[in-house]
Amino acid sequence: MDVQLNLVAAWIGFLAGVVSGIVPGLLFHGEEWMGGYGSWRRRLTRLGHISFFGIGFLNLAFVLTVRSLGLKGGLALASGLFVTGAVSMPLLCYLSAWKKPFRHLFFIPVVSLAGAIAITLWKIGQS
């Protein structure tokens, strides 16, 4: 199984996490920036920023697991679901910070990542 896409997704996620933290990192000291520390917009923006890193690490863990255990076949769906989660989670965080109704779409990254993890665990159990 070639997991090159997941490796690239992991490193793009790390880069996006750094880049997406630049403006908030320069402005976070303002007490009322984006409505204050506890505001919906600021919380969702922080979640979007950190999700780049967190899901990047999930993609990297997937790559390392597949390669270290020599898992073959049956993981294409898991691979795609990890990438789907990597794209959709930060996107929905930022969209939800902009317009609250987007929050109703969070099932997309959650189901994608839960499915990817479950498939990976199932394949590990078969090895």
pLDDT given at position 23: 81
Query: From CA 53, how far away is CA 72, in angstroms rounded?
Result: 27
Q: Map residue 108 onto helix, strand or coil.
A: helix
Q: Residue count of the chain, please give it.
A: 127
Cβ-proximal residues to 69 (8 Å cutoff; 6+ apart), any chain:
124, 127
Question: Model confidence over 81-104: pLDDT tens digits?
Answer: 999 999 999 999 999 999 999 999
Confidence of residue 106 (pLDDT cuts 50, 70, 90): very high
Confidence of residue 25 (pLDDT cuts 50, 70, 90): confident
Q: 85 to each of 68, 72, 78, how far by Cα in Å?
A: 23, 22, 10
The ranges assigned to domains in the chain are 4-126
Confidence of residue 31 (pLDDT cuts 50, 70, 90): confident
Query: From CA 19, how far away is CA 108, in angstroms rounded?
Result: 24
Is there a contact between 106 and 86 (Cβ–Cβ < 8 Å)? Answer: no
pLDDT greater than 90 at residue 59: yes
Residue the block writes with tokens 């779409």: 105
Is there a contact between 56 and 13 (Cβ–Cβ < 8 Å)? Answer: yes
What value does the mean pLDDT take over residues 61-69?
97
Is there a contact between 65 and 29 (Cβ–Cβ < 8 Å)? Answer: no
Q: Kindly state the tokens that stand for 18.
A: 């750094």
pLDDT greater than 80 at residue 43: yes
